[in-house]
Amino acid sequence: MTAQPTPKGAWKITFLLFLFMLVNFADKIVVGLAGVPIMTELKLEPEQFGLLGSSFFFLFSISAIVVGFIVNRVATRWVLLALALVWALAQFPMVGTIGFTTLLICRVILGAGEGPAFSVAVHAIYKWFPDEKRTLPTAILSQGSAFGVVLAVPALNWVIVNHSWHYAFGALGVVGLMWAAAWLIMGKEGPLVQTVAMAAAEPRIPYFQLLTSRTFVGCCIATFGAYWALSLGLTWFTSFIVKGLGFSQQDAGWISILPWLFGAMIVILTGWISQVLMSRGVSTRGARGVLGSVPLIVGGLILAIFPHVEVGGLMIALLVVGSGLSGSIYVVCPPMIGEFTPVSQRGAMIAIYGAIYTLAGIVAPLVMGNVIQRTTGQIDGYMIGYTINAVVLVVSGLLGLLLLWPNTERARLTGQGETAQPKFA
């Protein structure tokens, strides 16, 4: 068969959505980056700051599911514009003098706006690229998160150090409005919408069977562990560098980039290795399930060593590597779910998967804040918190290794042989 051509303007849309995800993660990181000045000015205890970090995820999962179904009926162009406006407007109250409650409410609203971001952006891109050409634009989109942190951290930290943490939020609001304006002018709905209609001819599988399949459950558990580490990085990493290790706010800003650089490398490397293994005939059990689970276990074991080394550079290196290895699971789980899910149900299944694993964003920052507040000596509190993170990673990785069998899952749910290739993928 002749490959379907890519519509004109597809890469322009890809670049705009890359910037969309860049802004998305810059918005996420700012509270963690400004953690010490926020706690100092608002006189927050660690438990309160943990609650602030978790508040971002209070409506994150619910919003992701709701909007995931909405975009089946509403053009993604307008949904993306609405999300970007919510992000921008939620930042501006922080420019003035505010209290803890206002900051908390704004973070809840921001989380509700950002929960659906990645799934809607992926849905939009799939309207511009035929199936056989979606890997590269999807990879570019996913790297918007890493670049969002790498580019935003130095800029926002400069604003925090030289001006105020209040203006860092204001700067993000302005950037959000700029993106919304650019999208309103240049953003368009993709022309390949007929590919969605084709899904109606495919057999449907009851959602109960899909949601209780061992591979779906395994993906949720494994990615929950990875997101535990990520949410600690968003909320507590910079505070640990400043308060735990004694670095200045300025130096901590540069150090805070390291986990995201390493994580981006892991994501790209995992995707490449997975494709190479599959091209050599390795089953998706090995090329996806094992490849995604083992780094979680190794990362957890590295974090288990972390509290037992001297305070300094080695401790930072172990934290960066141990947490960063968990990024491998994000690359392999959506394709595994796609292996056994009909196209007409795939968007909802991926949205539900995202809603479940991001619940770790509520739990992890709260646990860390409570542990720090209840431990004598702040550095000891951080050590216990990261030890808990190590246990979560190892357990989630082992369960992933046990449960992730996408190739046999497909055969069981569709009644086809393991080597059969249904139209679902």
Q: How far apart are the C-alpha atoms of 30 and 32, rounded to whole Å?
A: 5
This prediction's pTM: 0.79
pLDDT at residue 143 greater than cutoff 90: no
Q: How much is the pLDDT for 419?
A: 43
Q: pLDDT (tens digit, 9 = 90+) per residue, 251-294?
A: 877 887 888 888 888 887 887 888 788 888 888 899 889 999 99
Residue 413 makes CB contacts below 8 A (sequence gap 6+) with: 205, 209, 210, 213, 340
- Tell me the pLDDT tens digit for each residue of 205-244: 888 999 999 999 999 999 999 999 988 987 888 888 888 8
pLDDT value for 179 = 95
The mean of the pLDDT values for the chain is 85
Domains of the chain: 12-201 (1.20.1250.20), 202-425 (1.20.1250.20)
Q: Are 32 and 233 in contact (CB under 8 A)?
A: yes
User: Do the beta carbons of residue 141 and residue 334 sit within 8 Å?
Assistant: no
Q: What is the rounded CA–CA span in Å between residue 358 and residue 393?
A: 15
- At residue 327, φ and ψ (nearest 5 deg) are -65, -20
Q: Is the dihedral of CA 179, 183, 186, 190 positive or negative?
A: positive
Q: What is the mean pLDDT of residues 30-49?
A: 87
pLDDT at residue 366 above 50? yes
d(CA 58, CA 109): 9
Cβ contacts of 398 within 8 Å, gap of 6 or more: 293, 297
Q: Is the pLDDT of residue 423 over 60?
A: no
Say whether 334 sits in a helix, a strand or coil: helix
Percent of the chain with pLDDT over 90: 33
Which band of pLDDT confidence, cut at 50, 70 and 90, is reported for residue 1? very low
Q: For residue 418, is pLDDT > 50?
A: no
In whole angstroms, what is the distance from residue 101 CA to residue 353 CA? Answer: 30
Nearest Cα neighbor of 140 from 48, 325, 267, 33 is 267
C-alpha 49/C-alpha 60 separation (Å) is: 18
Query: What local confidence, expressed as pLDDT, does residue 133 receive?
Result: 67
Q: CA 113, CA 234: separation in Å to the nearest integer?
A: 17
Average pLDDT for residues 16-45, to the nearest whole number? 88
Phi-psi region of 127 (alpha: psi -120 to 50; beta: other; left: phi over 0): alpha
Per-residue model confidence as pLDDT tens digits over 79-128: 999 999 999 999 999 998 888 999 999 999 999 998 888 888 877 887 88
Q: Which residues of 64-74 are buried (b: 16+ CB within 10 A; e: fewer)?
A: bbebbeebeee
- For the cut 80, the answer to whether the pLDDT of residue 332 exceeds it is yes
Whether the per-residue pLDDT at 204 is higher than 90: the answer is no
Q: How many residues does the structure list for the chain?
A: 425
Residues in contact with 389: Cβ distance below 8 Å, sequence separation at least 6, in sequence order: 228, 229, 232, 300, 303, 323, 364
Contact 403, 217 (CB under 8 A): yes
